[in-house]
């Protein structure tokens, strides 16, 4: 992996991250393909929409189909038919959010499989070994996702465990990684405490990660608390390495984070909300199931040129949702991903023209949250 | 509508049916798009797969979204983004199979909407008026679908009502049809009684329909009873008009019906079974959810060149079904429709080369029902 800065406009920046499998222009949005499929879409549709990198969830893939089956396909790319880069998380976040029985100590975390109740043990070494089997281009260290709310003591203890695991992940990655082009990112924790976040960043910056992520956000905290962490933390992160904000967010979340220097984003909302009939437009979210759209002959978003907007009316797409037709979820997904990719492209263009602040202001004024 | 015979091989035949919206080569399979969408597929995918005509269900469309909304789109083609021909049934079959409270007399049929319980009244004139709003290229008369089993008296009374409705449908169609290129087909009833079927055919052949359909089959009768009706009835049908067997069937059903001279077929099974993980192949149906496919690195059907077979393993597609991923239903639908269209093309080729019997024998020997 190589990365280079293209332009900086205030704290916002455009970069290019190069892999053998393809180049990623940032700020980038990465659609989430939990089980080896970005829900409803084929890999070719994602390419056509302009996806440059997608995300896979190690936790879900280790449970179904399991690493043996992906190994037999020579990795996740071949399993799911996606040739461009893939980022995989380590499973840490899902263990805390999805498993009921979790046992943790400094050596390992144990959790119950939500599919069959089996007890699964994960260590930093095992998390790296599985991601190596997945063959992902960007791999993430195993971390403990600090709960919210947490006392400073709790956040500190949790962070220190993640620090040890970061080093163990790094060591395991460099000892066993079979793909020379794969990159490893560290994850900054520290709860909502600015000083802990700074302390954690200093430790992780001393380990030679290829990039750094901000974890432990979007766990229930108010937007203001999150903004304080982001605004203090991100400008201190190493300038030469990609910065990835995990699990966020809405279009406005993304613009705000870009404005302090974040490069990479992933989030389920454009695809998950699409399946619920929530359509992203430049004027805000449109709930296509609502009755005013029954007779609406306009496209989902008049400013959009995606397949769904070029071919179908709101009235037709509402009808599909009303009848629980799969095509409704598909057309909404195509549109929402297209909206997100176009947003990232507009953000990049505005940064490259040193007009990001103007763009951001105009976008946020138009957008009804 | 114009139709012409291309070749006859035994009783099997190839024809071409021409509409302004496109030419249909027969024997043809018409995918079913009940609610204005062939489930899971975009219209462009159907075109790519080779669909020449699709079917819409008048009964379902009159309930949701209702004729007013389709009228506002200037018809079903524009509503759903499909530019090639559409055939719509009259709703008769669904009234008997889906509605709980049905009241019928010689003037009209009344049934309760399964969506909101409203009482809806349909007459032959109303059925034609709605199909005119839908703008379908092939429209069907309103008929009474004779129940199975039925005594000869019951079948005869039901058939006589359908005869009157056929004439009323014909009169209404010719009085009010606004699209000069639309065709009207009559529907032969008569239960499982050869002499009633023959009697009904003679009556309907005297009305100047553009084509004739065989209705009231696939209602629970044994395959043998159905075969007797088809074998006696179809060779007597007018040679110069398209012959449409409603609601059938499996690949073997289709081959058997082609062998006695049927031109047109519609059936939900390739699409419905796809969503249940039943995959059609030249060797029979493969149930992709079954555990032997967990590690199977072959494509769904090694003899198929569809997108799903060219790109993904059985193991991956089984995994998608296992995780209830929509992409599984999509890939299975693409394959099953591709299988059906390839089958129809192979049937046409064999008829044009006067080798249909040989083809049919070989296909049925290979195919495990």
Please name the residue that has the structure tokens 């009235």: A315
- Mean pLDDT along residues B200-226: 95
Q: Is residue B298 part of a domain?
A: yes
CA distance A105 to chain B (A): 31
A171-202 pLDDT, tens digit per residue, is: 999 999 998 899 999 999 999 999 999 999 99
Tokens of B220: 């629970």
Is the Cβ pair B327, A72 closer than 8 Å? no
Query: Are A156 and A299 members of one domain?
Result: no
Residue B270: which H helix or E strand, with range? helix B269-275
Stretch among A90-104, A345-359, B49-63, B318-332 having the lowest mean pLDDT: A90-104
- For chain B, the domain total comes to 2
pLDDT at A194: 95
Catalytic residues of A: 89, 266
- Mean pLDDT along residues B50-57: 98
| Domain endpoint, select from A267, A298, A323 | A267
Q: Could you tell me the CATH number of the domain that includes residue A157?
A: 3.20.20.105
- Mean pLDDT along residues A323-351: 98
pLDDT at A99: 77
Give the dihedral sign, CA B132/B136/B142/B147: negative
Residues paired with B56 in a beta bridge: B88
Q: What's chain B's Rg over C-alpha atoms?
A: 20
Which among B287, B329, B324, B278 has a CA at the least distance from the CA of A64? B324
Q: Is residue A118 part of a domain?
A: no
- Residues of chain A with Cβ-Cβ distance to B299 below 8 Å are none
Structural domain boundaries, residue B252: 2-88+128-267
Share of chain B above pLDDT 90, in %: 91
Share of chain B above pLDDT 70, in %: 100
Q: Is residue B100 part of a domain?
A: no
Q: Is residue B163 part of a domain?
A: yes
Which among B234, B230, B270, B264 has a CA at the least distance from the CA of B251? B270
Whether residue A302 is predicted with pLDDT greater than 80 in this model: the reply is: yes
Give the dihedral sign, CA B327/B331/B332/B337: positive
Q: Is residue A201 part of a domain?
A: yes
Is the Cβ pair B37, A329 closer than 8 Å? no
- Best of A291, A308, A326 to disrupt the B interface (most B CBs within 10 Å) is A326
Give the dihedral sign, CA B328/A268/A65/A177: positive
Is the Cβ pair A319, B295 closer than 8 Å? no
pLDDT band at A69 (very low <50, low <70, confident <90, very high): very high
**CA atoms lying within 13 Å on the CB side of residue A68:** 3
Q: Is residue B101 part of a domain?
A: no
Query: Are B260 and B284 members of one domain?
Result: no
- Residues of chain B with Cβ-Cβ distance to A39 below 8 Å are 325-327
Query: Are A206 and A298 members of one domain?
Result: no
Whether residue B242 is predicted with pLDDT greater than 90 in this model: the reply is: yes
Tokens of A67: 């690493």
B312-355 pLDDT, tens digit per residue, is: 999 999 999 999 999 999 999 999 999 999 999 999 999 999 99
Whether residue B246 is predicted with pLDDT greater than 90 in this model: the reply is: yes
pLDDT at B283: 94
- Residues of chain B with Cβ-Cβ distance to A330 below 8 Å are 40, 42, 326, 330
| Domain endpoint, select from A236, A267, A298 | A267
Q: What global pTM score does this model have?
A: 0.97
Query: Are A227 and A84 members of one domain?
Result: yes
- Residues of chain B with Cβ-Cβ distance to A81 below 8 Å are 311-312, 316
> If you average pLDDT over every residue of chain B, what do you get?
96
pLDDT band at B114 (very low <50, low <70, confident <90, very high): confident
Kindly write down the DSSP assignment for every residue of A187-221, as one continuous string. EE--TT-HHHHHHHHHHHHTS--SEEEE-S-SSS-
Task: Answer yes or no: are the C-beta atoms of B317 and B288 closer than 8 Å.
Answer: yes
Query: Are A197 and A319 members of one domain?
Result: no
Catalytic residues of B: 89, 266
Detail the DSSP E strand segments found in A207-356.
211-214, 243-245, 264-266, 278-281, 284-287
Is the Cβ pair A40, B326 closer than 8 Å? yes
Q: How far apart are CA B262 and CA B11, in angstroms?
A: 9
Query: Are B318 and B243 members of one domain?
Result: no
- Mean pLDDT along residues A247-261: 96
Query: Are A128 and A225 members of one domain?
Result: yes
CA distance B64 to chain A (A): 7
Tokens of B181: 């290129």
How many of the other CB atoms lie within 10 Å of CB of B349? 13
| Domain endpoint, select from B247, B267, B287 | B267
Query: Are A260 and A294 members of one domain?
Result: no
Q: How far apart are CA B355 and CA A111, in angstroms?
A: 63
Q: What is the ipTM of this complex?
A: 0.97
- Mean pLDDT along residues B143-160: 94
**CA atoms lying within 13 Å on the CB side of residue B91:** 30
CA distance A20 to chain B (A): 21
Return the axis-axis angle of helices B194-205 and B223-233, rounded to nearest 10°. 40
Query: Are A263 and A283 members of one domain?
Result: no
Query: Are A283 and A248 members of one domain?
Result: no
Query: Are A250 and A323 members of one domain?
Result: no
pLDDT at B101: 77
Query: Are B248 and B310 members of one domain?
Result: no
A7-26 pLDDT, tens digit per residue, is: 999 999 999 999 999 999 99
A93-146 pLDDT, tens digit per residue, is: 888 888 777 899 999 999 988 888 889 999 999 999 999 999 999 999 999 989
Q: Is residue A273 part of a domain?
A: no
pLDDT at A96: 80
CA distance B57 to chain A (A): 14
Is the Cβ pair B69, A295 closer than 8 Å? yes
Burial of residue A251 (number of CB atoms within 10 Å: 0-12, 13-18, 19+) = buried
Using CA atoms, how far residue A30 sits from A21, A22, A237, A238, A248, in Å, is 15, 14, 21, 22, 10
- Mean pLDDT along residues A47-51: 98
Q: How far apart are CA A247 and CA A244, in angstroms?
A: 9
Q: Is residue A105 part of a domain?
A: no
């Amino acid at each position: 992996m190589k990365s280079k800065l293209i332009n900086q406009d205030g704290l916002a920046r455009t970069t290019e991250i190069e892999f053998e499998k393809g180049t990623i222009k940032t700020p980038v949005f990465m659609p989430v393909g939990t089980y080896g499929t970005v829900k409803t879409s084929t890999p070719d549709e994602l390419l056509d929409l302009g996806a440059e990198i997608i995300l896979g969830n190690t936790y879900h893939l280790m449970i179904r189909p399991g690493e043996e089956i992906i190994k037999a396909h020579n990795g996740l790319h071949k399993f799911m038919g996606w040739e461009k880069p893939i980022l995989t998380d380590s499973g840490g976040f899902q263990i805390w959010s999805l498993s009921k029985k979790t046992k943790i100590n400094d050596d390992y975390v144990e959790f119950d499989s939500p599919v069959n109740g089996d007890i699964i043990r994960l260590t930093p070494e095992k998390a790296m070994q599985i991601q190596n089997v997945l063959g992902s281009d960007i791999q993430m260290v195993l971390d403990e996702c600090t709960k919210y709310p947490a006392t400073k003591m709790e956040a500190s203890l949790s962070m220190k465990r993640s620090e040890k695991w970061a080093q163990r992940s790094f060591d395991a990655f460099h000892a066993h990684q079979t793909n020379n082009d794969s990159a490893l990112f560290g994850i900054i924790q520290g709860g909502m405490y600015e000083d802990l976040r700074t302390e954690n960043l200093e430790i992780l910056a001393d380990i030679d990660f290829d990039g750094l992520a901000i974890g432990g956000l979007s766990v229930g905290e108010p937007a203001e608390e999150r903004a304080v962490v982001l605004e203090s933390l991100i400008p201190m992160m190493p300038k030469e390495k990609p910065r990835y904000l995990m699990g966020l967010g809405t279009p406005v979340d993304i613009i705000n984070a870009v404005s302090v220097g974040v490069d990479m984003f992933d989030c389920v909302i454009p695809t998950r909300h699409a399946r619920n009939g929530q359509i992203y437009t430049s004027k805000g979210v449109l709930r296509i199931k609502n009755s005013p759209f029954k007779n609406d002959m306009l496209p989902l978003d008049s400013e959009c040129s995606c397949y769904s907007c070029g071919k179908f009316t709101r009235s037709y797409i509402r009808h599909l949702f009303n009848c629980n037709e799969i095509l409704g979820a598909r057309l909404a997904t195509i549109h929402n991903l297209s909206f997100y990719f176009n947003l990232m492209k507009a953000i990049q263009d505005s940064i490259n023209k040193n007009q990001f602040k103007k763009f951001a202001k105009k976008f946020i004024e138009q957008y009804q949250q």
